[in-house]
Structure 1
Amino acid sequence: MPQQPRAVVIGGGIAGLAAAAALHRTGRQVTVLERAPSLEPVGAAISLSPNALRALDVLGIGDEIRGLAAWQGDGGLRTPSGRWLTRTNAAAAAERFGGPLVLLHRGTLIDRLAALLPPGAVRTNADASLADPGDDRRPARVTTPDGALEADLVVAADGIHSTVRQALFPAHPGPRYAGFTTWRLVIPVPGAAFASHETWGRGRLWGTHPLKDGRVYAYAAATAPAGRRAADDEKAELLRLFGDWHDPIPAVLAAARPEDVLRHDVHHIAEPPPAYHRGRVALLGDAAHAMPPNLGQGGNQALEDAVVLAHHADDLAAYTAARLPRTTAIARQAVRAARLNLMRSRAGIAMRDTAIAALSRIRPDLLLRSFEGIADWQPPYPAVRAGTGER
């Protein structure tokens, strides 16, 4: 009886767990090595567009995630005074792209992906390093404090500061500061009733969205020097920056505690690596193509990566060919979106807002058009029918 091919995944976030689940479905023995003591995610909520949900359909949990998530789309873009620049419609988005845009807590997605793996597949407190990328004649080798593992395939899902990417491509410049910082929080807001919105100010933006469990997901961004932090606490910083913006932003800030607020500077991979593979090792998710969050596609592209990698696990050059051009284009689009969102010139902002308002009267689907070529992606093989395990 032939030996079952083995895959080792370095990183137990969304990207790594999705890749492990996809590879497990193709008959590989999978081991996930996560250096943290648990799979508890660092972060808040994640927006999943139809392309990511189709990837989850391949894994057999797309409908479950749709049922757990809040549908997005009824809302739009506002100014700090509260004026609507353009409105969006959830039904129109779902019709245009063949499915909804949804929002759920990252922890929920992590739990559902981990449940797709066999018992013992995930090892926490496992700080892994790539010792040998392998080639056509020898397996790849990964070292851990508990010993070395050999594998037919190693998946590097170890994030934006990937040590595996650095080992594969030592001349690559690595991530670059994007010029802005972000805050995120998920909290209950008593009495809150509002439409989802994103609001653009001068070098600042804020978004507020309801979750299905009744809590509110809010995020903010502002241009700032790298590494700067509030002298007191990050809630106080948010109050200084956004406290006089339109409702429901003051109510969200009033309900937040300082410990509810997460802050992270944004870095991205401005120059893609020469390939997403070398030897028997494949880069995936932020390790391959970390991008600014302004299109909400970082995790979505990682889910696409996972199912495409499983499809091309025996031909990693085909994986690179399928993923590098697409993710590079989307990452560059996210950089352009960040520049537009966080513009600082008063004259430029006035022109931007006037143009958006005028164009949206002519084309009500203005915001949706930015997702063309992204949200309509189709996986390379069909979905798994819920409850059957069959395609």
Structure 2
Amino acid sequence: MTQSSKPRRAVVVGGGIGGLTAAVALHQVGRQVTVLERAPSSAPVGSALSLAPNSLRALDVIGVGDEIRHLAAWQGPGGLRTPGGRRLSRSDAAAATERFGEPLVLLHRATLVDALTARLPRGAVLTNAPAALVDPGGTDRPARVTTPDGELTADLVVAADGIHSGIRRTLFPAHPGPVHAGFTTWRVVVPLPGVEFASHETWGRGRIWGTHPLKDGRVYAYAAAVAPAGLHAPDDERAELLRLFGDWHEPIPAVLAAVRPEDVLRHDVHHLARPLPAYHRGRVALVGDAAHAMPPNLGQGGNQAVEDAIVLAWHSDDLAAYTAARLPRTTAVARQAVRVARLNMMSNRAGIAVRNAAMAALSKAGPALFLRSFDGIADWRPPQRPYASVGTGKR
């Protein structure tokens, strides 16, 4: 990256993980950065997320990686189970770290958001600031963005405004946009004192559940089930989770007993089934879900957003190079996420039996075969060296 003698302006639309990572990376290479977040507060609404080795290495570039390794829970031994508790496979955290050079870690989104925001100048993040793209700009003019407080011009606009991105619709009006993936998800983060368990994911018939401990003593749990778009529980979402998962193996009933209705976040899953023709137009670049929304089943949505942000800062003077670097990779990852979602949400009994037998056989063959599906994903490395974090792989 080359720093300009005169700071050039970058406007980031969206204050989520991808937008904030892009803002920090651009600030560190000399851009004057403004983040426009439409929510009234910068406090993230959400739960936890997993960061894989690929995004940890990306965070090393902006000096955040080691802080996150320290604050996050490192995924320990766990595995895949059936609703009755039968073990289908075992996960080996040491084998994953040895294969990919880094662990898989879990943390609350707020932890990562706070770490990123702390590396931006005071006043760089503006909340309650919805934005719309007026002009994507070009070689002869800056891009223009409007807000309730007026218009901003920028040498670079980063569209990090999520799966229903208004900027994506402006840039690519002929694109069909996101489609429903056929299922919905629930997420909770709750304290669970006195209950000991290993991380696990449980696959049922058209339903899955995962439970993972966080470093602060709370538990992150997520669930998914085949459901039409727009469906909601007749009473509350905790009651819906009890109906769907209440008779599954421990610690699922214990988690549900600790959940209050207001703790549950429910979202239908949408994704971009058709890739965009490019991740840029004019002086505007798209990152994260705005560019390549994918089902969450591979756990790579946030990770790919972090990768996008680091690569964008590297190619901020050549957005065509950014598209060339990111579009093929993220398209391949998104397609793999769709395949995993179909495997997770399978409803056919005969197919489930074959699936479970295959997972058990892979596990018996050893962790190397089981981990091979993440080759080319978790072993990704950013195009530049770290600024501050060293990525030692040690606690």
**TM-score (ref. length: structure 2):** 0.96
* 2:92 aligned residue: 89
Query: What pairs up with 1:247-286 in 2 under 5 angstroms?
Result: 247-286=250-289
Structure 2 residue 202 is matched with structure 1 residue 199: yes
Tell me the secondary structure at the aligned position of residue 374 of structure 2. coil
Determine which of 136, 141, 155 is the counterpart of 1:138: 141
- What is the one-letter code of the residue matched to 1:219? Y
Q: Is the 8 A contact 1:97 1:376 kept in 2?
A: yes
- What is the one-letter code of the residue matched to 1:165? R
Measured in 1, the distance between the counterparts of 2:300 and 2:328 equals 15
What displacement does 1:386 show? 4.2
Q: Is the 8 A contact 1:289 1:328 kept in 2?
A: yes
Measured in 2, the distance between the counterparts of 1:30 and 1:364 equals 44
Measured in 1, the distance between the counterparts of 2:257 and 2:185 equals 19
Measured in 2, the distance between the counterparts of 1:364 and 1:213 equals 29
Structure 2 residue 36 is matched with structure 1 residue 33: yes
Measured in 2, the distance between the counterparts of 1:197 and 1:386 equals 30
* 1:159 aligned residue: 162
What displacement does 1:70 show? 0.3
* 1:19 aligned residue: 22
Unaligned runs of at least 5 residues, structure 1? none
Tell me the secondary structure at the aligned position of residue 365 of structure 1. helix
Measured in 2, the distance between the counterparts of 1:275 and 1:93 equals 33
Q: Is the 8 A contact 1:141 1:151 kept in 2?
A: yes
Query: What pairs up with 1:365-376 in 2 under 5 angstroms?
Result: 365-376=368-379
Measured in 1, the distance between the counterparts of 2:92 and 2:344 equals 21
Structure 2 residue 175 is matched with structure 1 residue 172: yes
- What is the one-letter code of the residue matched to 1:311? W
* 1:383 aligned residue: 386
What displacement does 1:200 show? 0.2
Tell me the secondary structure at the aligned position of residue 193 of structure 1. coil
Q: Is the 8 A contact 1:88 1:365 kept in 2?
A: no
Structure 2 residue 249 is matched with structure 1 residue 246: yes
* 1:6 aligned residue: 9
Measured in 2, the distance between the counterparts of 1:73 and 1:226 equals 35
Structure 2 residue 314 is matched with structure 1 residue 326: no
Q: Structure 1 residues 153-162 or 378-387, which shifts more?
A: 378-387
Structure 2 residue 41 is matched with structure 1 residue 42: no
What displacement does 1:2 show? 5.1
Q: Is the 8 A contact 1:75 1:87 kept in 2?
A: yes
Determine which of 187, 207, 225 is the counterpart of 2:190: 187
Determine which of 359, 363, 370 is the counterpart of 1:360: 363
Q: Is the 8 A contact 1:73 1:93 kept in 2?
A: no
Q: Is the 8 A contact 2:95 2:367 kept in 1?
A: no
Structure 2 residue 337 is matched with structure 1 residue 338: no
What displacement does 1:245 show? 0.5
Measured in 1, the distance between the counterparts of 2:140 and 2:385 equals 32
* 1:221 aligned residue: 224
What displacement does 1:384 show? 1.4
Deviations 1:308-346 (A, max 9, x none): 000000000000000000000000000000000110000
Q: Is the 8 A contact 1:86 1:364 kept in 2?
A: no
Deviations 1:253-282 (A, max 9, x none): 011111111100000011111100000000
Please give the root-mean-square deviation of Cα atoms over the aligned residues, in Å.
1.1
Deviations 1:41-64 (A, max 9, x none): 121001000000001100101000
Measured in 2, the distance between the counterparts of 1:90 and 1:12 equals 32
Aligned pair count? Answer: 387
Determine which of 351, 356, 367 is the counterpart of 1:348: 351
Q: Is the 8 A contact 1:11 1:158 kept in 2?
A: yes
**TM-score (ref. length: structure 1):** 0.97
| Identity within the alignment, % | 76
What displacement does 1:133 show? 0.3
Determine which of 127, 132, 135 is the counterpart of 1:129: 132
Tell me the secondary structure at the aligned position of residue 385 of structure 2. coil
Determine which of 113, 119, 122 is the counterpart of 1:119: 122
- What is the one-letter code of the residue matched to 2:226? T
Structure 2 residue 334 is matched with structure 1 residue 299: no
What displacement does 1:4 show? 1.4
Measured in 2, the distance between the counterparts of 1:383 and 1:57 equals 5
Structure 2 residue 113 is matched with structure 1 residue 110: yes
Measured in 2, the distance between the counterparts of 1:368 and 1:39 equals 36
* 2:393 aligned residue: none
Measured in 2, the distance between the counterparts of 1:359 and 1:386 equals 35
Determine which of 49, 59, 62 is the counterpart of 2:62: 59
Unaligned runs of at least 5 residues, structure 2? 391-395
